[in-house]
Amino acid sequence: MGAAFDLVIRNGTILDGSGDAAFDGDVAISGGKIAALGKISGSGTEEIDAKGKLVTPGFVDIHTHYDGQATWSNTLSPSSTHGVTSVVMGNCGVGFAPCRPDHHDMLLRVMEGVEEIPKPVLAEGVTWTWESFPEYLDSLGRNHYDMDCAALVPHAPVRVYVMGKRGADREPATQQDAIRMSALVKEGIEAGALGFSTSRTMIHRLTDGSLAPTITAGEEELTAIALAMKEAGKGVLQLTHDDYDVTQEGITGLGMWRRIVELSGRPLTVSLSQKSRMFTDKWRLSLKFLEDAHRDGLPIIAQVSNRTVGVLFGLECERNPFTGCPSFERIQHLPLEQKLAEMRKPEMRAKLLSEEGFDPNPGKLTQLRRFEQMFLLGDPPNYAPPKDQNIAALAARRGIPVLEFAYDLLLANDGHNIFYYPATNYFDFNFEAVETMMRHPHTIQGLGDGGAHVGTICDASLPTHMLTYWTRDRRDGEKLPLPWAVQELTSKTAGFFGLNDRGYLKPGYRADVNVIDYDRLHLHGPRAVYDLPAGGRRLIQKADGYEATICNGQVTYREGQHTGALPGRLVRGTQAAPA
Q: Which residue(s) pair with 55 in the sheet?
A: 14, 515
Q: pLDDT over 90 for what percent of the chain?
A: 93
Q: Given a cut of 80, is residue 530 above it in pLDDT?
A: yes
Longest dimension (CA), the chain: 78
Higher-scoring residue by pLDDT: 245, 185: 185
Give domain status of residue 502, yes or no. no
Shared domain for 181 and 294, answered yes or no, is: yes
Q: Given a cut of 80, is residue 350 above it in pLDDT?
A: yes
Are 308 and 435 a contacting pair, CB within 8 Å?
no
Shared domain for 162 and 241, answered yes or no, is: yes
Examine the fold and report which residue of 388, 421, 454 is the final residue of a domain before the chain moves on.
421
Examine the fold and report which residue of 402, 421, 440 is the final residue of a domain before the chain moves on.
421
Give domain status of residue 568, yes or no. no
Q: For residue 309, give the amino acid letter.
A: V
Higher-scoring residue by pLDDT: 9, 246: 9
Q: Given a cut of 80, is residue 247 above it in pLDDT?
A: no
Q: For residue 98, is the peptide bond before it cis, meaning its omega torsion is within 30 degrees of 0?
A: yes
Shared domain for 236 and 346, answered yes or no, is: no
pLDDT at 253: 74
Q: How confident is the model at residue 278 (pLDDT cuts 50, 70, 90)?
A: low
Shared domain for 327 and 185, answered yes or no, is: no
pLDDT at 279: 66
Does an H or E element contain 198, and which? Answer: strand 195-200
511-522: burial string, b at 16+ Cβ within 10 Å, e else: bbbbbbbbeebe
Residue 26 backbone phi and psi in degrees, to 5: -110, 160
Asked which of 21-35, 73-87, 149-163, 282-296 is least confident by mean pLDDT, the reply is: 282-296
Asked which of 84-98, 132-146, 237-251 is least confident by mean pLDDT, the reply is: 237-251
Identify how many contiguous H helices and E strands the chain contains and give both numbers: 20, 25
pLDDT at 512: 99
Q: What is the pLDDT of residues 294-303, one digit of tens each?
A: 999 999 999 9
Shared domain for 129 and 192, answered yes or no, is: yes
Give domain status of residue 573, yes or no. no
Give domain status of residue 501, yes or no. no
Q: Given a cut of 70, is residue 344 above it in pLDDT?
A: yes
- CA dist., res. 271 & res. 48, Å (int): 39
Shared domain for 355 and 470, answered yes or no, is: no
Give domain status of residue 186, yes or no. yes
Q: How confident is the model at residue 246 (pLDDT cuts 50, 70, 90)?
A: very low
Q: Given a cut of 60, is residue 1 above it in pLDDT?
A: no
- CA dist., res. 35 & res. 509, Å (int): 8
CB atoms within 10 A of CB 330: 12
Give domain status of residue 504, yes or no. no
Give domain status of residue 569, yes or no. no
CA angle 34–21–26, rounded 5-degree value: 35
Q: For residue 78, is the peptide bond before it cis, meaning its omega torsion is within 30 degrees of 0?
A: yes
Q: Given a cut of 60, is residue 154 above it in pLDDT?
A: yes
Q: How many CA atoms within 13 Å lie on the side-chain side of 296?
A: 12
Asked which of 178-182, 187-191, 274-278 is least confident by mean pLDDT, the reply is: 274-278
Q: What is the pLDDT of residues 466-516, one digit of tens each?
A: 999 999 999 989 999 999 999 999 999 999 999 999 999 999 999 999 999
Q: Given a cut of 70, is residue 133 above it in pLDDT?
A: yes
Number of domains in the chain: 3
CB atoms within 10 A of CB 92: 28
CATH number of the domain to which 53 belongs: 2.30.40.10
Examine the fold and report which residue of 421, 455, 488 is the final residue of a domain before the chain moves on.
421
Q: For residue 172, is the peptide bond before it cis, meaning its omega torsion is within 30 degrees of 0?
A: no
- CA dist., res. 312 & res. 319, Å (int): 8
Q: How many residues are present in the chain?
A: 579
Does an H or E element contain 181, and which? Answer: helix 175-190
Average pLDDT over residues 449-466: 98
pLDDT at 360: 84
Give domain status of residue 92, yes or no. yes
- CA dist., res. 282 & res. 356, Å (int): 32
Average pLDDT over residues 32-41: 97
Asked which of 27-36, 343-352, 358-367, 380-389 is least confident by mean pLDDT, the reply is: 358-367
Give the residue among 448, 274, 468 at the shortest CA–CA distance from 373.
274
Shared domain for 243 and 273, answered yes or no, is: yes
Q: What is the pLDDT of residues 201-245, one digit of tens each?
A: 989 999 999 999 999 999 999 999 999 999 999 999 999 998 644
CA 43, distance to chain mean position in Å, is 38
Shared domain for 228 and 373, answered yes or no, is: no
**Which residues, 6 or more positions from 243, have their beta carbon under 8 angstroms from its beta carbon?**
253, 275, 276, 279, 282, 286
Q: Range of 391's domain?
A: 316-421
> Would the pTM of this model clear 0.85, i.e. be above it?
yes
pLDDT at 315: 98
CATH number of the domain to which 235 belongs: 3.20.20.140
Shared domain for 106 and 224, answered yes or no, is: yes
pLDDT at 248: 40
**Which residues, 6 or more positions from 288, have their beta carbon under 8 angstroms from its beta carbon?**
none
What is the average pLDDT value for the chain, to the nearest integer?
A: 96
Q: Given a cut of 70, is residue 579 above it in pLDDT?
A: yes
Shared domain for 160 and 219, answered yes or no, is: yes
Helix residue ranges, H only, 64-164: 69-72, 104-115, 119-125, 133-141, 155-163
Q: Identify the DSSP state of 175.
A: H
Shared domain for 321 and 398, answered yes or no, is: yes
